[in-house]
Amino acid sequence: MNTLKLVVVDDEPDMAGFVHDVAEQAGFAVEQFHNADVFREQYKPCADVIVLDLMMPGTDGVELIRFLSEVGCDSLLVLISGFDPGVLHSAQKLAIEHGLNIAGSLSKPFRHHELQQLLHGLSISPRRPSHTTPDKPLVVDELREALKSDQLVVHYQPQLSIRDRSLVGAEALVRWQHPTHGLLGPELFITMAERHGLIDDLTWVVLQQAMQQCRNWLDNDLKIRVAVNMSATTLKHLELPERIHQLVRKYRLQPSQIVLEVTENALMQELIKSLDILTRLRMKNFRLSIDDFGTGYSSMVQLHRAPFSEIKIDRSFIMEMDYDAEARAIVETIIMLGDKLGMSVIAEGVETQAEWDRLAALGCGTVQGYLVAKPMPAADFTDWLAQHYSRNPESTI
Ligand code: C2E
Ligand code: CA
Ligand code: CA
């Protein structure tokens, strides 16, 4: 196994040395920087964890946060500061808005065991994306070709019941098996598909593959509910409910085995039209899920009007729960809201046992995240499930 690497950036040598010692005891290879400029000049994207002092002479933490964001840093960040906790909290929020991975923060002075606990609680390896990044920009003609020649594949990520670890369902997540670039993640081509009018075709490819897979599982006595992501554009076609229903009939499935995930933001575009379509889908007995909940601007009233069966709490709140009382309050409130409105609640992006335990204590029903498993091809999913049931004989399907 590769040794994990931790970089500490702090102008106080004593402090940097202290972090160095604790991290080394926790099994990290450690490198120290006592000067922000030197750190910037010598930056290499290979640290698993960066411990960053926010207050150093000649620079401020915000500048370093911006720098790390610009270089696309994907290390886990631990922020430390002698400022009051309010400042640390704002810096964290800013870093998250810049797309950085915040693992926690500590106010100076902190104790050996506080840092130790934080380092032990990190889940590092799963953060590395399993997809490749193409060295040349992707062009839309390639995507058109991909849609025609079966280059899009669907991976499945399990969702487990917190109560007994039984399988609740699987989310279908699209990937592009590119002939030269390898396996590409959806963030590299969904926006392109939306911008060039290809998203309906893409959604259709994913729906068909997911339903075909659902049928294959049923033929093997596995009744697995599958969730598919719907983009805002697709949600505006009035004929959508009937077309999806035809597809369900083709694969001899029940609509209740299919969950359609709609992001909160997608819902807000052309709300009336979307509500029409969603209501008709719900009347046909499809399950509807409101995705990335908490990041958009839907109001309580809209949530009540839209016929959702389930709420997915956005990963950003789950990530922050450990160290942010506000994030905890938001998660708690969403769970209560779901409960009162009779919707199931799924927590997304659960990476640690601590998060699972917290969610269990708050009464959350379902969990999806790397702690359980990463998205995987259908064949691997079936193997994973067999292993899961042999490890958890009390769970049911
Ligand atoms: P999403 O719908 O919010 O899907 C969840 C994303 O979180 C997935 O990323 C999943 O791999 C990732 N994830 C799950 N558990 C964890 C975890 O514990 N930690 C972390 N860090 N990440 C976790 P993925 O597969 O890269 O998909 C990204 C987004 O692309 C999706 O976000 C969804 O908005 C979009 N997408 C994926 N497939 C489709 C599709 O077929 N159609 C459309 N329209 N959008 C899709
Ligand atoms: Ca989703
Ligand atoms: Ca989501």
Q: Which ligand is nearest to the CA of 192?
A: 1
Q: Where in the chain is the domain with CATH 3.40.50.2300?
A: 5-120
Helix (H, G, I), strand (E, B) or coil at 284: coil
- Please calculate the CA angle 384-318-194 and round it to the nearest 5 degrees: 75
Please tell me the predicted confidence (pLDDT) of residue 277. 92
Closest CA to 17 of 4, 32, 5, 28: 32
Give Cα separations from 241 to 139, 246, 276 (angstroms).
31, 9, 10
Is the model's pLDDT at 303 over the cut of 70?
yes
Q: Where in the chain is the domain with CATH 3.20.20.450?
A: 140-391
The residues facing 81 across adjacent strands are 107
The pLDDT-based confidence of 397 (bands split at 50, 70, 90) is: low
Task: Please tell me the total number of residues recorded for the chain in this structure.
Answer: 397
Instruction: Report which DSSP code applies to 4.
Output: P
Ligand 1 touching residue 351 (CB < 6 A): yes
99: exposed, middle or buried (Cβ count in 10 Å: 0-12, 13-18, 19+): exposed
Ligand 1 touching residue 104 (CB < 6 A): no
- Tell the residue nearest (CA) to atom 33 of ligand 1: 229
Give Cα separations from 188 to 172, 278, 291 (angstroms).
17, 28, 20
* Domain 5-120, CATH: 3.40.50.2300
Residue 292 in contact with residue 334, Cβ under 8 Å?
no
Fold of 140-391: TIM Barrel (3.20.20)
Please tell me the predicted confidence (pLDDT) of residue 127. 45
Helix (H, G, I), strand (E, B) or coil at 336: helix
What separation in Å is there between the alpha carbon of 171 and the centre of ligand 2? 7
Q: Which ligand is nearest to the CA of 292?
A: 3
Q: Stretch 321-346: mean pLDDT, rounded?
A: 93
Which tens digit of pLDDT belongs to each residue from 35-45? 998 999 888 88
Which tens digit of pLDDT belongs to each residue from 101-153? 888 888 888 999 999 999 988 877 644 556 777 777 778 999 999 999 999 99
pLDDT above 70 coverage of the chain, percent: 97
- Tell the residue nearest (CA) to atom 27 of ligand 1: 186
All residues with CB under 5 Å from ion ligand 2: 229, 261, 291
Q: Which range among 8-17, 36-45, 332-341 shows the weakest confidence by mean pLDDT? A: 36-45
Ligand 1 touching residue 185 (CB < 6 A): yes
**What integer best gives the mean pLDDT of the chain?**
90
Q: Stretch 37-55: mean pLDDT, rounded?
A: 90
* Pocket mutation for ligand 1, best pick of 229, 372, 380 (most atoms within 8 Å of C-beta): 229
Please tell me the predicted confidence (pLDDT) of residue 393. 82
